[in-house]
Amino acid sequence: MKGKLVIVMVGLPARGKSTMGRKLGRTLELDGIQVRIFNNGELRRKMEAGENSSSAEFFSPTNARGKEMREFISRTNIEAARTFLAEGGEVAILDASNVTRQRRRTIAEAFPYLPLCYIECVNADEEALEANLERKATLKEFCHLSPEQALESFLKRISYYESIYEPLDEEANRILVDSFDNCILQEQISEVLPYYDRIRDILTTRVVRNLFLVRHGETWYNLEDRIGGDSELTEKGREQANGLADHFATIRIPTIFTSNYVRTRQTAEPIAERQNQCSIIALPEFNEIHAGVCEGMTYEEIRHTMPHVAKARGPNKYRYIYPEGEGYITMEERVHRGLKKVFFLNNYDENIMIVGHRAVNRMILASFLSRQEAEIPYIYMPQDRYYHIQIDPHKRIFELIPYKSNPVATKW
């Protein structure tokens, strides 16, 4: 159903509001809907560059000057959204914490003849929240602080918001979303809302703009055909990492997700160095399959010294679990959890890069493809190519791209 709609994001800082807002905005836009996001944080950073508006005290409810400034920013965005909708816009997304009833009433009064839909984001996953806070502490607005000071300041800011948080109760249309699990926890809709079914779909579906899935470069263990361990890249592996860095130099990669192992970090570092601003986030969920008692052995050694392992694994590779280690089947849950973290932490940026391992990357790729489980442990995962994955309501693309050739395109 066509029409005009105001979406109001609600939630404490770092709960995934902007990520959800961007996901909604971008996907509705792909559907041909005129949509625009009005983000108070971005406007604040533009208007009041410098330390002042990023300090925790700026957000204190008892700081009259800060409060006035924040309300001014909110009114400016509300006005801009009104103009946008009056000039043909269809969906305006007001992206801010909007935690007080007073603020929400002001918004409602500004759009007396339009339906409003409040989307409140929560995230009950402590680990993902912590990782998000750490990521936020590295943002430009905290660059004058040490990482510890930045984190402390951000936590203080959150506590100020917590102290004034008022639950949604009088708002007619509201959805409570778990932004980490991409699921709707509660909803109350009291009128027919335009685009509502689509919005529900988008909130609960994973959309992947450009995911670059890279396997680490060659390691000393790879040379000897040894599995597991934490070995470093060989000279050839470093060349591969530099090749990737050249290849991606014209493609903006704001974050690279790796495992905790040195080989993924050594592959990611040259890529990050060639970028304007790029952070590397290591996730234990992307560590390679743990081969238990076989860690550090070659496949040949396993065949000779533990023939029962080779015999049992061969016909049932997906379900086989190494003694004292893992199997593809037991990695599934953690790898999916890692992916959720990636989508939560990357701020719905267009481009995401994951530098992983052979088995882990197979699991990641398999989570997007409908493959029989028996096929998954045999998915081709070379070290001189990467997978480029795109999934949105209009396309599903999986391309294997050699990175010594020219970059794919510079439009990203």
Contacts with ligand F6P by CB under 6 A lie at 222, 227-228, 288-289, 291, 357-359, 377
Report in angstroms how near the CB of residue 18 gets to ligand F6P at its nearest. Answer: 35
- Annotated catalytic residue within 216, 247, 265, 358: 216
Q: Which is nearer to ligand F6P, 119 or 289 (CB)?
A: 289
* Cβ distance to ligand F6P smaller for residue 61 or 307: 307
What is d(CA 163, CA 70) in angstroms, rounded to the nearest whole number? 16
Which residue's CB atom is positioned nearest to ligand F6P? Answer: 227
Neighbours of 144 (CB within 10 A): 12
- At its nearest, how many Å lie between ligand F6P and the CB of residue 185? 37
**DSSP code per residue over 233-246:** B-HHHHHHHHHHHH
In whole angstroms, what is the distance from residue 183 CA to residue 194 CA?
Answer: 20
Q: Considering the complex, what minimum distance in angstroms separates the CB of residue 398 from ligand F6P? A: 20
192 with 1: CB under 8 angstroms? yes
CB of 313 to ligand F6P, least distance (A): 8
Measured from the CB atom, the residue of 127 and 224 that comes closer to ligand F6P is: 224
Q: Is 304 a catalytic residue?
A: no
Minimum CB separation of residue 341 from ligand F6P in Å reads 21
Looking at beta carbons only, is 162 or 225 nearer to ligand F6P? 225
Is residue 357 among the annotated active site residues? yes
Closer by beta carbon to ligand F6P, 73 or else 291 = 291
Give 289 or 352: the residue with its C-beta nearer to ligand F6P: 289
Smallest distance, ligand F6P to C-beta of residue 363, A: 10
Is 234 or 347 the residue whose CB approaches ligand F6P more closely?
A: 234
| Residue 216 annotated as catalytic | yes
Active site residue 288: yes
Token pair of 77, please?
């965005």
Of 15, 103, 174, 215, catalytic? 215
Output the smallest distance, CB 359 to ligand F6P, in A.
4
Contacts (Cβ under 8 Å, ≥6 apart) of 283: 131, 257, 258, 259, 260, 338, 341, 342
Smaller CB separation from ligand F6P, 187 or 332: 332
How many whole angstroms separate alpha carbon 307 and alpha carbon 302? Answer: 6
Q: Which of 271, 276, 212, 213 is nearest to 244 (CA)?
A: 271
Catalytic residue among 15, 226, 263, 290: 263
Q: How far is CA 225 from CA 237, 297, 381, in A?
A: 14, 8, 15
DSSP assignment string, 2-48: ---EEEEEE--TTSSHHHHHHHHHHHHHHTT--EEEEEHHHHHHHHT
> Is 222 considered catalytic here?
yes
Query: Torsions phi, psi of 91, nearest 5?
Result: -130, 125
User: Cα dist. 230→222, 224, 286, 338, 343 in Å?
Assistant: 11, 14, 13, 20, 26
2-173-391-211 Cα dihedral, nearest 10 degrees: 130
- Catalytic residue list contains 215: yes
Q: What DSSP state is assigned to residue 298?
A: B
Instruction: Output the smallest distance, CB 223 to ligand F6P, in A.
Output: 10
Could you give the CA distance from residue 95 to residue 90 in angstroms, rounded to a whole number? 16
Query: Crossing angle for the helix pair 126-136 and 328-345, nearest 10 degrees?
Result: 40
Residue type, 173: N
Q: Residue 325 in contact with residue 289, Cβ under 8 Å?
A: yes
Pairing, β 208-215 against β 351-356: parallel
List residues with catalytic annotation.
215-216, 222, 263, 288, 357
